[in-house]
Amino acid sequence: MTLAPAQVPTTPMPRIAVIDFETTGISPAMGDRATEVAIVMLEGGRVVDRFQSLMNTGVRIPPFITQLTGITNAMIATAPEAETVMAEASRFVGDAPMVAHNAAFDRKFWQAELARAGLAAPQPFACTVLLSRRLYPQAPNHKLGSLVDFHRLPRTGQAHRALADAEMAAALLGQIQHDLRAQFGVPAPTHELLMAVQTCSRHAVPARIRQYLGASSAG
């Protein structure tokens, strides 16, 4: 896919893993499980690798979820076991910090599915919903598809499938990083900066970025 805009940062940027889950529902605590996971690996705002797999947890998919995602019980019946997929996903991500659209949701499933596989989930999560609320208050809403349209980013694949949604979230992250460079003079918007921006109030964003840049240059 093409990330817009294609501006080359002045300093090398570490990897960021953008993740999206499709699931049987919204709450792992209520018994919901992942049905598909996709991860887009970014380096310097560019896609350098992708991971995608359906996964079989043995939990049936409700009809309205199949209607939403197109993922059927027949599809996951022949998919690899969830523990196998999550182990591969964990190796793929490594120690890269992570980003998701409404990260609270994907973080819950990342942690729950890795825990079932006996694996740790130490990665910090930044959230493109929180970042968009702070940076784009003029957007009509902050759904992933609406923000993609708002920024005129490319749509690739079928919405509500993991890889297509991860690609769109990655494109949105690329837009956010571009705007942080263009509007706030951040030479290389790191995951640490994203976390700093998303945890301050909307009106405190410029001051928070100045504070971060000052601390970075002093350190």
21 near DNA (CB under 7 A) = yes
Q: How many CB atoms lie within 10 A of CB 181?
A: 18
Find the part of the chain contacting DNA (CB under 7 A) among 63-71, 88-96, 115-123, 185-193.
Answer: 63-71
Using the rule CB under 7 A, is 133 a contact of DNA? yes
- Footprint of DNA on residues 152-181 (CB under 7 A)? 160, 165
Stretch that binds DNA, among 22-30, 149-157, 173-181, 211-219 (CB under 7 A): 22-30
Residue 182: how many other CB atoms lie within 10 Å: 11
Q: How far is CA 131 from CA 31, 175, 181, 196, 206, in A?
A: 29, 11, 14, 10, 13
Binding of DNA by 202 (CB under 7 A): yes
Question: Does residue 143 touch DNA according to CB under 7 A?
Answer: yes
**Which one, 13 or 98, has the nearer CB to DNA?**
98
Whole-angstrom distance, CA of residue 154 vs CA of residue 27 = 30
- Cα separation, 215 vs 219, in Å, equals 6
Choosing from 1, 96, 99, 101, the residue that interacts with DNA (CB under 7 A) is 101
Extended strands (E) in 112-180 = 125-127
DSSP 90-111: HHHHTT--EEETTHHHHHHHHH
Contact between 70 and DNA per CB under 7 A: no
Burial of 185 (0-12, 13-18, 19+ CB in 10 A): exposed
Size of the site for DNA (CB under 7 A): 38
Q: Is 77 in the site for DNA (CB under 7 A)?
A: no
Q: Which two tokens stand for residue 187?
A: 């030479």
Q: Are 199 and 42 in contact (CB under 8 A)?
A: no
Q: Of the listed pieces 2-10, 19-27, 44-52, 115-123, which binds DNA according to CB under 7 A?
A: 19-27
**CB–CB of 38/166 below 8 Å?**
yes
Q: Which segment (5-13, 27-35, 77-85, 111-119) binds DNA by CB under 7 A?
A: 27-35
Minimal distance, residue 9 CB to DNA, in Å: 26
Q: Closest distance between DNA and the C-beta of residue 84, in Å?
A: 20
74 binds DNA (CB under 7 A): no
Q: Cβ(32)–Cβ(25) under 8 Å?
A: yes
Residues that bind DNA (CB under 7 A): 20-27, 29-30, 32, 35, 60, 62-65, 68-69, 101-102, 104-105, 129-130, 133-134, 137, 141-145, 160, 165, 198, 201-202
